[in-house]
Amino acid sequence: MTIQWFPGHMAKARRQVTEKIKLIDIVFELVDARIPMSSRNPMIDEIVSSKPRIVLLNKADKADDSITKQWIEYFKEQDIPAIAIDAQSGTGLKQITALSKVLLKEKFDKMAAKGIKPRAIRALIIGIPNVGKSTLINRLAKRNITKTGDRPGVTTAQQWVKVGNELELLDTPGILWPKFEDQLVGQKLATTGAIKDTILNLQEVTVFALNFLKEHYPKRLLERYNLNEIPEEIVPLFDEIGKKRGCMVSGGYIDYDKTSELILREIRTDKLGKLSFETPADFQDK
Ligand code: G4P
């Protein structure tokens, strides 16, 4: 789902998230494992500063495993525990409660010492649109919840959903805006399918994706499109793929929109294998 974010929406979204954070013990920050930095809210550290946090690298089934490991280390170095998960299949979800218990042990021990009756850990799932928040809530809660909270500005009554006996979640996630003013971030979000194609120029996004694959995954590109070699320039590469896949218009010209759609669809549906579009090294000194 695509949301057009305006300053008023952003302020409201932030207010709503801040209100929700007051109710919980721990924040689960959901990001896309393929682009963990580009799929974060730019103000996240400030917004959740008052509560412990776990970063959940979701859609790990679509990301390059070795790079996901690097990301887990990266977050660990920043004192933020991170777990790779796949909310759709449920992989990795068991670790969430276990790790939350560890992080909140001191708080709950203190509560027990004061004679406060033990209760479930309360958590909030937070993230930009399309990172898998609803999928994760549904998976954890083992039920189907409609996406009523998916528009900033929509107020609904807060409800808790139980995850076993030891954890409960707010049933509507905290939705925050992406770092959309950065063009590279926009291209990565579009390549992975997090933002709708209509917002960005389809061919420009594909040029970004092809250049990225050329540099980081040349073998996959060669194999998928049955190429003998990868042309230096991007236009001949486009032409070659378009020709091979029959994306032509009359007169023997390449249909660049059709070729772009095909390439992006194949990237998003993992036809080129598990891909990560950024590594911690890209963010050194930043
Ligand atoms: P949101 O609430 O954060 O906005 O995200 P939502 O749960 O709606 O998930 C967005 C899309 O991502 C959904 O696909 C969902 O099935 C998919 N998804 C969520 N978690 C995972 C995961 O761990 N692995 C994989 N492979 N996919 C996941 P969709 O309904 O088909 O939407 P779209 O892909 O057409 O945008």
Q: Within a 10 A sphere around the Cβ of 58, how many other Cβ atoms? A: 30
pLDDT at 145 over 70: no
d(CA 152, CA 16): 8
DSSP state of 91: B
| Lookup: tokens for 165 | 């006996």
Mean pLDDT of 247-275: 96
**pLDDT attached to residue 5:** 86
Mean pLDDT of 178-194: 92
- Give the nearest ligand 1 atom to 87 CA: 23
d(CA 14, CA 19): 9
Task: Quote the ligand 1 centre to 21 CA distance (angstroms).
Answer: 24
Residue that the structure tokens 């708080």 belong to: 107
User: Which residue's C-alpha comes closest to atom 34 of ligand 1?
Assistant: 193
pLDDT tens digits, residue range 11-30?
999 999 999 999 999 999 99
| Lookup: tokens for 243 | 């020709």
Find how far residue 89's CA is from the centre of its chain: 16
pLDDT over 70 percentage in the chain: 92
Task: Quote the ligand 1 centre to 182 CA distance (angstroms).
Answer: 23
Q: Which residues line ligand 1 (CB under 6 A)?
A: 1, 58-59, 61-62, 86-88, 127, 129-135, 150, 193
* Position 247 confidence tier, pLDDT thresholds 50, 70, 90: very high
Q: Which amino acid is it at 48?
A: V
* Position 165 confidence tier, pLDDT thresholds 50, 70, 90: very high
d(CA 63, CA 38): 14
- Give the nearest ligand 1 atom to 129 CA: 4
**pLDDT attached to residue 198:** 67
**pLDDT attached to residue 157:** 65
Task: Quote the ligand 1 centre to 130 CA distance (angstroms).
Answer: 6
Find how far residue 154's CA is from the centre of its chain: 22
**pLDDT attached to residue 156:** 57
Residue that the structure tokens 């950024």 belong to: 278
- Is the complex ipTM more than 0.95? yes
d(CA 53, CA 214): 36
Task: Quote the ligand 1 centre to 122 CA distance (angstroms).
Answer: 24
d(CA 206, CA 241): 12
Beta-strand ranges (E) seen in 51-159 are 53-58, 82-84, 121-127
**pLDDT attached to residue 148:** 45
User: Which residue's C-alpha comes closest to atom 13 of ligand 1?
Assistant: 132
Pocket perturbation via mutation, ligand 1, pick of 32, 130, 148, 189 by most ligand atoms within 8 A of CB: 130
User: Which residue's C-alpha comes closest to atom 9 of ligand 1?
Assistant: 132
**pLDDT attached to residue 184:** 94
